[in-house]
A and B are shown apart, each in its own frame.
Chain A
Amino acid sequence: MIYLDNSASTRPDPAVLASYQAAADAYFANPASLHPEGTRAENLLEKARKQVAAQLRAEPFEVIFTSGATEANNTAIQGTAKNKTGRVHMVVTTVEHPSVHETCLHLESQGVDITWLHPDQDGRITVPQVESALKDHTCLVSMMHVNNETGVVFPIEEVGGMLQHYPNVAFHVDHVQGAGRVPLDFSEAGVDLLTISGHKIHGLKGTGALLVRKASLLKPLLHGGGQEAGLRSGTADAAGAVSLAKALRLTMEAAGDKQQHMRRLSLDIQQFLLERPDVFVLQPGESAPHITAAALTTRNPEPFIQAMAEQDVIISTTSACSSKAAGSRVWKGMGLDGSGAVRISLTSSTTEEDVEGFKQAWLQAEEKIIKAGAAL
């Protein structure tokens, strides 16, 4: 199988799985228990926290483990809203992941004032655009680092720098697609809240974290035993935390060498697609090295990706989390017709042979679907 849907989920690294299994077996006690077994589990949990912090250049106490990015994004956004009394205003882009987009829509329906920032046709959002959206009672700007459908990179450091002049505005960044692919330094970038996910970096589903500059920025969504600095109650999962820390370390260590590699393969894919008939290739200025977004201009993409899957090459239509919706909101947000959008997303272990296999499968799918007269 040639798996090119790494932005939807990645295959867990065998070393991560082994660590998870060993930790789940040997450190099963509740880390909050006072007996020695609890202390051992807590020690492991805290080591995992320290490692996650070190990889993202944060402090250990800033790391809040969550069940994944959806929970982290919800905690960041709803937690900020719950922390405020009186008028609440937030600034968010129209091309965020559903776990941000839907959360903001929900808050809007509850009376929160939301300013939606529209990117231009290249998917860009500018610093002045963000700054001019700020109001006196703005409490949060939420902006993803790398777009999951298009690979566009938003200028996080620049926005973070600008927001230093607005100390009452917290800055949340969904770093799920950026982690290990496009560097971001939590301590330098002016970010207050940062979301990461385990299963996008060869870790496990059900693991993730929210980095929180100051616990006082948020109110928790889950109440209970007061774990994770009171921001995320629920028995701490030391083994899950270990798997996240290990996946993050392995990804970050490989990142330096592999970025150029992924970039080269992506450019190769884009070059190939540009030469195909009836294919529009998105080529934003600032983009992540691992995502290629394109659209079939005359066809429904779904039979096409099925035809590719029959040849054991896995690509997807836009984002898996949005696959139930008609057309792509992100593409629409950029003023483009995304009804035929497909996404090819690589990972560090993708090879040149994989890309060759992809090209062959694409050509055959093209032929097969045209022959079958299935061009819709």
Chain B
Amino acid sequence: MKADSLLIRYAELSVKGKNRKKFESRLEKNVRKKLAVWPEVTTSRSFGRLYVHLNGAPRLEVESALQDVFGIASFSPVMRTELDEEAVFSAADLMTKEMLPGGGTIKVSVRRIEKQFPVGSQEMNQRIGSAVLRNNPSCTVDVHQPDLELKVEIRTDGIYVSGGQKPGLGGLPVGTSGRGMLLLSGGIDSPVAGYYAMKRGLTLDAVHFHSPPYTNDRALQKVKDLARRLAAYGVGVRLHIVPFTACQLAIHQQVPDNCEITVMRRFMLRMAEAIAAQQDIKALLTGESLGQVASQTIDSMYAINQVTTMPLLRPLITMDKMEVIAQAERIGTYATSILPFEDCCTLFLASDVKTRPNAEKVAYYESFLPIQELVDEAVENAETMYIQAEQPADEADDLL
């Protein structure tokens, strides 16, 4: 017998009252999707717990996949035995051998939920502890900071022995907070903003502004790769590629250089909002961090924000660049983000961008542009694709 299942503990779900069922089933669905590469893996729920049954799948790899799923507080390998003392001893012994192959300190914590079981929990603590120590001479007891805490739960349907708890990502299961539209540039910040939005349960759509021929296929590929990386934390990202060249050239011709970026951001928000509305999405997300660049000062945000009434969420607003970079490295987007391809924000960039643009003046400058026409045309020609965590097969795969 080996630890053939994993017990998943929910993060935050216990406080969600009537919605709890919805959250639980969503988490189970997300877990199944994440573990779909192992078709033998099954899941089940009982008594407010989610179980993953390995059925032969490699435990360490499954554990590492679970560490990408939001809504999990922690998980532990678990074995279920009959309501029988000898069976528990042997399960606890096997669990110890699997988790502490070189020996170490242990602690046993028994909870007797099934009160019909004849031995009390204190007594069981001692009996299990001494059985484990007898069979594992290199183990000793440490009740304060054990290397392995064996948790034993005596329940009506059997006894559960778990150990080797690992932390999950926390947060809410992706899909339980509705949907959000992320402005995904290809830089370092926006993927991290998307990650934090997913952490609070949002399903992501992403919009990217593409200015061919000034921005090339590689810049686009980079954005797809970033969306794919984000999809690993959730359930796929719907990516909208908006052709931005015509709008950008019109702005460049009409608007003074130092206000160009402000006007451009206003157009981006309008287009993102239009696509969001089509998709019945009720929030926009950006990777803005206060004061990081000229377009992210309070004055700039004020001027840019005028064009939309949708909630504009900025998960990174108070974060330092170094914090964002560290998080980008943790979530695996950094290496892609720093690939040096031009994106539309750096095109035609003036050397003296205003850090305190005047909202009224900006509106005046852009009033000479056919605003609705530019927005409608771009939105109409947007290309939408669904990006999954797994790279789709292409002709190149046959060679490998």
Interface, chain A (partner B; CB < 8 A):
19, 22-23, 27, 34, 36, 39-40, 42-44, 47-48, 51, 61, 242, 245-246, 249
Interface, chain B (partner A; CB < 8 A):
216-218, 221, 335, 391, 394, 396-397, 399-400
State whether A246 and B396 are in contact (beta carbons under 8 Å apart), knowing that A34-B216, A39-B218, A39-B221 are contacts in the complex: no
Closest to A248 in B: B400
* B221 CB contacts on chain A under 8 angstroms: 39, 43
Closest to A246 in B: B400
* B394 CB contacts on chain A under 8 angstroms: 43
User: Which residue in A34, A43, A249 is a CB contact (below 8 Å) of B396?
Assistant: A43
Closest to A47 in B: B396
Main secondary structure of the interface of A (DSSP, over half): helix
* A242 CB contacts on chain B under 8 angstroms: 399-400
- Tell whether, in the assembled complex, residue A47 and residue B218 are in contact, meaning their CB atoms are under 8 Å apart: no
User: Which residue in A27, A40, A47 is a CB contact (below 8 Å) of B397?
Assistant: A47
Compute how far the CA of A44 lies from the CA of B395 in the bound complex, rounded to whole angstroms. 9
- Tell whether, in the assembled complex, residue A249 and residue B400 are in contact, meaning their CB atoms are under 8 Å apart: yes
- Tell whether, in the assembled complex, residue A19 and residue B335 are in contact, meaning their CB atoms are under 8 Å apart: no
Closest to A188 in B: B60
* B217 CB contacts on chain A under 8 angstroms: 36, 39
List the 10 closest pairs (A to B, CB-CB), nearest first: A19-B399, A44-B396, A242-B399, A23-B399, A39-B217, A51-B400, A245-B400, A47-B396, A246-B400, A61-B335
Closest to A40 in B: B396
* A48 CB contacts on chain B under 8 angstroms: 400
Compute how far the CA of A84 lies from the CA of B217 in the bound complex, rounded to whole angstroms. 40
- Tell whether, in the assembled complex, residue B218 and residue A19 are in contact, meaning their CB atoms are under 8 Å apart: no
* A43 CB contacts on chain B under 8 angstroms: 221, 394, 396
Q: How far is the CB of A189 from chain B (nearest CB, A)?
A: 14
User: Which residue in A19, A39, A40 is a CB contact (below 8 Å) of B400?
Assistant: A19
Give 22 CB contacts A-B under 8 Å.
A19-B399, A23-B399, A27-B396, A34-B216, A36-B217, A39-B217, A39-B218, A39-B221, A42-B218, A43-B221, A43-B394, A44-B396, A44-B399, A47-B396, A51-B400, A61-B335, A242-B399, A242-B400, A245-B400, A246-B399, A246-B400, A249-B400
Compute how far the CA of A93 lies from the CA of B335 in the bound complex, rounded to whole angstroms. 36
Compute how far the CA of A245 lies from the CA of B399 in the bound complex, rounded to whole angstroms. 9
* A39 CB contacts on chain B under 8 angstroms: 217-218, 221
Compute how far the CA of A138 lies from the CA of B147 in the bound complex, rounded to whole angstroms. 32
* A22 CB contacts on chain B under 8 angstroms: 399
Closest to A18 in B: B399
A34-B218, A47-B400 known, 5 other contacts, Cβ within 8 Å = A34-B216, A40-B396, A43-B221, A44-B399, A48-B400
Compute how far the CA of A19 lies from the CA of B397 in the bound complex, rounded to whole angstroms. 10
* B399 CB contacts on chain A under 8 angstroms: 19, 22-23, 44, 242, 246
* B396 CB contacts on chain A under 8 angstroms: 27, 40, 43-44, 47
Q: How far is the CB of B37 from chain A (nearest CB, A)?
A: 12
* A42 CB contacts on chain B under 8 angstroms: 218
Closest to A241 in B: B400
Closest to A22 in B: B399
Q: Which of B216, B218, B396 has the most CB of A within 10 A?
A: B396
* B335 CB contacts on chain A under 8 angstroms: 61
Compute how far the CA of A143 lies from the CA of B205 in the bound complex, rounded to whole angstroms. 49
Q: How far is the CB of A25 from chain B (nearest CB, A)?
A: 11
Compute how far the CA of A162 lies from the CA of B216 in the bound complex, rounded to whole angstroms. 48
Q: Which of B217, B391, B397 has the most CB of A within 10 A?
A: B217
Q: How far is the CB of B236 from chain A (nearest CB, A)?
A: 20
Q: How far is the CB of A241 from chain B (nearest CB, A)?
A: 10
Compute how far the CA of A313 lies from the CA of B114 in the bound complex, rounded to whole angstroms. 71
Compute how far the CA of A42 lies from the CA of B394 in the bound complex, rounded to whole angstroms. 14
Q: How far is the CB of A43 from chain B (nearest CB, A)?
A: 6
Compute how far the CA of A245 lies from the CA of B216 in the bound complex, rounded to whole angstroms. 28
Q: How far is the CB of B52 from chain A (nearest CB, A)?
A: 22
Compute how far the CA of A313 lies from the CA of B400 in the bound complex, rounded to whole angstroms. 32
Compute how far the CA of A221 lies from the CA of B197 in the bound complex, rounded to whole angstroms. 44
Q: How far is the CB of A14 from chain B (nearest CB, A)?
A: 14
Q: How far is the CB of B101 from chain A (nearest CB, A)?
A: 13
Q: How far is the CB of A44 from chain B (nearest CB, A)?
A: 5
Closest to B395 in A: A26
Compute how far the CA of A213 lies from the CA of B202 in the bound complex, rounded to whole angstroms. 34
Compute how far the CA of A48 lies from the CA of B396 in the bound complex, rounded to whole angstroms. 9
* A245 CB contacts on chain B under 8 angstroms: 400
